[in-house]
Structure 1
Amino acid sequence: MVTQLPIQTAEIIYPDSDGQLMADNTLQYRWIVTIQGGLDSLFQNDPNVFVAGDLLWYPVEGSNVIRRAPDVMVAIGRPKGDRGSYQQWREENIPPQVVFEILSPGNSVKEMVAKHNFYRRYGVEEYYLYDPDKGDLTGWIRDGEELPEIEQMLGWVSPRLGIRFELSQGQLEIYRPDGEKFVSYVELARQKEVVQQELEQEKQRAEQEKQRAEQAEEELETLRALLAQKGINPDEL
């Protein structure tokens, strides 16, 4: 009798890095951070919206070569929290519904076609591509098994995210549903500084008004005292 030993299969490792740079230049990096930060802020109070930047997404269990790392991705219905990668079978098999790519001079046409095919095949509902050097914005939205291009992106409102896309002087502008614009951390810090300066100015104006009121009250009391010395009742004047 021959006893067969159980066959041991090697555990599949899903690397957290693909060895690629997050960005090729400062402009691309700034846009990635601005969009990721803006979306994170937009959904900060929703515990079931996961936003990530440059995170590897593995859509198929058992394959560590089928993967992409969108510049920004949003998975609605998944809890917030840190991850080394987005392994879809561990996420209730929910793919990221929305992805963003920021084009750089190093991206080839072949690479971008492959990304579109990947997102179409593995369930992305909305895909947005922005070229900050040319000011070109392109979008695709799911229609059944396909991911056709959106005809008009100016003024387009994302069905999933509620954000609105505009182009001003060749630059992308993204607006929240409340009308607030996505801004970089530097712009955000500048806005905060302006608000703090306005608050400080308002505080100084209030203090000056208080001092003027106190001075007027002192002058009035001095006048009342002088009238009283002369036997005049100021309340009868």
Structure 2
Amino acid sequence: MTLSPAEIDALLLSLKIAAVAVAGALPFAIACASLLTFGRFPGRFLIDAIVHLPLILPPVVMGYLLLISFGTRAPIGAWLLHSFDIRLVFSWTGAALASAIVSFPFQVRAIRIALENIDPGLHQAAETLGAGPIDRFINLTLPLALPGIIAGAITAFSASLGEFGAIITFVSNIPGQTRTLPLAIYTAIQTPGGELAAARLAMLSIGLALCGLIISEMMMRGIRRKLTGQVRP
């Protein structure tokens, strides 16, 4: 399967946007999942609902909310532009922000499940031995939650590769700047005679998704083997 230069640009841009989106959101996802798992405070359920809003809202709505918040005439967007010369709208960094927000709940859910499955007795034993909260979190909680962290990151990465509505609404469909794989497929479908290109890009997207799932499973099996000495069926 031979890709054209424009299709290669769309592929590389998609990979870059997904990688930046996942890497940028991961620390916040870990913090948010920890807060929702271990925190006990009023309004926790409201925060939980807000975090998971991108799962149920149409992506176009998320893109619109980003546009009215980070557009060059919007309060936050204008402040970023005039104070730091940062323009998110119509740029690949804006596409990364949109992908990060849309895929954020996938990371939080996976990490939260991993945290909830940690035996509380381990934390109590570590506390008895004199380990402080930060020490317990770094040396006990994070290693035990690593399978969930990796699963969430890879799932979010795959979701970012397939994001369409929020990106095209917030940063448009600009070749070489914001045209990711899904947008390239959309463009090919709208172009006369572009059916073969659309099919080629669709097969590429399917292949990337399958590779992500396989890598995720292999990495989680390896981590489980190190943590438990056995691989779950």
- Higher RCO (C-alpha under 8 Å, 6+ residues apart): 2
TM-score, normalised to structure 1's length? 0.21
Q: Which has the larger radius of gyration?
A: 1
Q: Write 1 or 2 for the structure with the bigger share of helix.
A: 2
Q: Between Structure 1 and Structure 2, which shows a larger proportion of strand residues? A: 1
